[in-house]
Chain A
Amino acid sequence: MKKICFYFQVHQPFRLKNYRFFDISVDNQYFDEKKNHDIMRKVAQKCYLPMNQLLLDQIQAHNGNFKVAFSISGVCIEQFELYAHDVLESFKSLADTGCVEFIAETYGHSLSALKSPEEFKKQVAMQTAKIKEHFGQTPKTFRNTELVYNNYIGSLVHEMGYKTMITEGADHIMGWRSPNFLYNHCQHPDLKLLLKNYKLSDDIAFRFSQKSWESWPLKAETFSHWINSTPWNQEIVNLFMDYETFGEHQWEDSGIFDFMRELPNQIINHSQFDFVTPAEAAKELKPISGIDIHSTISWADAERDLTAWLGNPMQDDAFDSIYSLEYLINKIDDQKIKDDWVKLQTSDHFYYMCTKFWSDGDVHKYFSHYDSPYEAFLNYMNVLTDFEERVRNVAGVDEEQREIHPGIMENFKKFLPEGVQLN
């Protein structure tokens, strides 16, 4: 039997409050509690609670033949703990079925893998501990923030002992190859790679409610037929998407819940496919080839690269600025600072600063609570200025004194008004 693998990304950042220059050194509460609470409650009502119930019903209805996987960021679980115990409980019920795999990622949903292997590993340890605490599983599969991947990141993940990793089946990497096979890291054959079938994934995640789409309205039967029509030798279809697709990006009235309620039945009873979790897929299938990825890929935008988070001067300066504090943070022992440090690394902060499509209004705007990327950047930098002051105070860093070239003072003298002398 061929395999179909559903994996859902569950994430909510700690959004920053409006933080002005005059708040620096005065206010060290950076996060907008009300907004974060309200968004969490809204998404819980529209997506997490109804969709978890739906999945639970389907798993029970199909006697364990329907399986899914979740990657939940640590900062998201923390917000469940703060604002949504009901959601946490419903995930626990899913965990108890034995048909749900929980996946490892960075606690802060951060891009730390690109900057600091130490910080990256620390955050993975934090997130997997959180998963173990709530869901009783030690994750065996890894996925990096936004499916960001290159050979180096793969090696880091391999070093941590993971055997399975999830990433994007980006066209410019795949070329003529199909994502519908199991692959492995080019240097570490024992790290299996599951690649996202972005065409079929995006049919659900992005195109489902698009009335201009030729296949609208999409029925579970049709979708199952498409899956079934993949070439005979292909082994797996990986459907990876944001969990918020269900009820939040695609509203309930689009029929997305009805679609998902019917899909397991169509696949299980009317196709040659079996549901698997990522770890099962990696165990049951044989990798077809190594895959060599030098330039970093991700699942974002048409480019499938890092340009959603990094690349414009603001993003780069902000990103460098926060990681320049790492060595000081490692020297100190202050829990509040360490908590803020992780939350400030969340990739969403840099996503809000993206200027790629600023003029035409797009998916970035949908995901941002700021009016412009500039506003997002300035707000973040104000927060970071305060944060740096706190870190330096605790670490006991003195003002840096550099030697002043005598030429500077000579020049200064020339501009002094009459009657003022420099000794």
Chain B
Amino acid sequence: MALQPKVLMFGWEFPPEISGGLGTACYGLVSGLIGNGVDVTFVVPKLYGTEETDKFRLVGASDVEVNFSTSKFQRNLEKVNYMQIHSHIVPYASPQEFMDREEFDIHSVSKVDSNFSSAKFKFGGRYGKSLLSEVSKYALVAMQVAQDQEFDVIHAHDWLTFPAAIMAKEVSGKPLVVHVHATEFDRSGESVNQEVYELEKKGCEAADRIICVSRLTRRILMNRYGIDGRKISVVHNAVVPKPAKIYPKRNLVDKKIVTFLGRITFQKGPDYFVDAARKVLDVMPDTHFVMAGNGDMFLKCVERAAELRISNRFHFTGFLNYFETNNLLGMTDVYVMPSVSEPFGITPLEAMRTGVPVVISKQSGVAEVLKNSIKVDFWDLNALSDTIIGLLKNEEISKKLAADGTNEVNEMKWEYASLKVREIYNKTINRRRSVRN
């Protein structure tokens, strides 16, 4: 029995070059696993050179030379074709975000050898137009990696890596754990992309074990994807320890600040935040609201704030880097996450860790675990605005909530979450073995 399993892990991003919560969660989980003696090799499409390579064993798919000539590879190659998809969808990023990023060419396969026997693939490594073709290329590389590396279990994060994980499983015969951080229903509401949905379903079906970030997500997998609930474990996300420094407030020093931080997309409920701001300002006209992030509802929110005539109290920062995010949280009096659908939601934890009281929607996975927070229905504008006003007006309660919240979050360690994951690895490996024997 392998108590300290070797894991081949597939992800789509790894800090510091991240676009959302997925990268952050992977970072925390891998750190926790390593701390618990698990040997992790983490594969991403592309390395930027800024990663902490001294702490983690990272493999950039664009650095892997794929040998087409071996017969084993040729045999496996045929299996990839069924996943070759060429539509242009943008699952995480808004069109605007996409345009701000690198352009990718679907056919940008750079040949290293003139005899075509081996090649390295070029990856944008982001959520671009040719995402699905990158997903396929990534699966090709995964086959090579699975042939080269030694490991006991495969662990794949979200649908982008599922084809890769399935191929790795085909090649190696090792058990597969898929980790669902978000489903297509969380990203797109009811207008799901069928191809993405199919990949998610395939990944879950091929998996020996599924890890979900919340009971909410588990229910979606059961109800919408027809996955057997007995195959699914829930491991809630944790948070890495508090950043070293809380910056002194420099902007709007004597004003109360209420913050929304996240992608400005339908599922995050940004429009509810704007409307709630109007209601708060009716009572507390000198409050300031900050909406940080980018997304396809950005312009709509700008216009909505203008329609409500609150633009001089409602500010948009655009996408913030790590430093600016902490800077903003440091000056925030109330953090609000009015998500319509949130598989987990790691940012309220980051706010709480900085000592900010939070109002979160009941429709978020994180609401399942948080005690010291205010939970409202995302659609209940009165609840949203009344609790914001309540927190701004009652300093004692705010302080207590913030202090208790900080303590609570500091106990939500990746160290503990990764123990559960290690347990899942071991069980999965053992079950595999006993089935074979």
Contact = CB atoms under 8 A, between A and B. Distances in A.
Contacts of B305: 317
B410 interface: no
Contacts of B283: 402, 404-405, 408
Interface size class of A (residues with CB under 8 A): 35 or more
Interface in A39-89: none
A22 B324 contact: yes
B286 to A, nearest CB: 5
A21 interface: yes
Contacts, number: 113
Contacts of A24: 251-252, 315
A417 interface: yes
Interface string B206-232: 000000000000000000000000000
Interface string B229-263: 00000000000000000000011111100000000
B306 A377 contact: yes
Contacts of B302: 314, 374, 377-378
B374 A415 contact: yes
B315 A408 contact: no
A122 to B, nearest CB: 23
A39 B411 CA distance: 57
B285 interface: yes
Nearest to A398: B286
Given A321-B312, A404-B283, A422 B394 contact: yes
Say whether chain A's binding surface is mostly helix, strand, loop, or mixed: helix
B286 A384 contact: no
Nearest to A403: B283
Contacts of B324: 22
Nearest to B405: A417
A382 B305 CA distance: 14
B206 to A, nearest CB: 41
A316 B308 CA distance: 11
A422 B397 contact: yes
Interface residues of B, number: 46
B306 A408 contact: no
B54 interface: no
Interface string B381-403: 01100110111011011001100
A384 B312 CA distance: 7
B150 interface: no
Given A318-B311, A320-B309, A418-B371, A21 B316 contact: yes
27 contacts: A21-B316, A25-B250, A313-B303, A316-B306, A317-B309, A317-B311, A318-B311, A321-B311, A374-B299, A378-B302, A381-B312, A382-B315, A388-B312, A389-B252, A399-B254, A405-B283, A408-B386, A408-B389, A409-B393, A413-B390, A415-B374, A416-B374, A416-B397, A417-B371, A417-B373, A417-B374, A423-B396
Interface of B: 250-255, 283-286, 288, 290, 299, 302-303, 305-307, 309-312, 315-317, 324, 327, 371-376, 382-383, 386-387, 389-391, 393-394, 396-397, 400-401
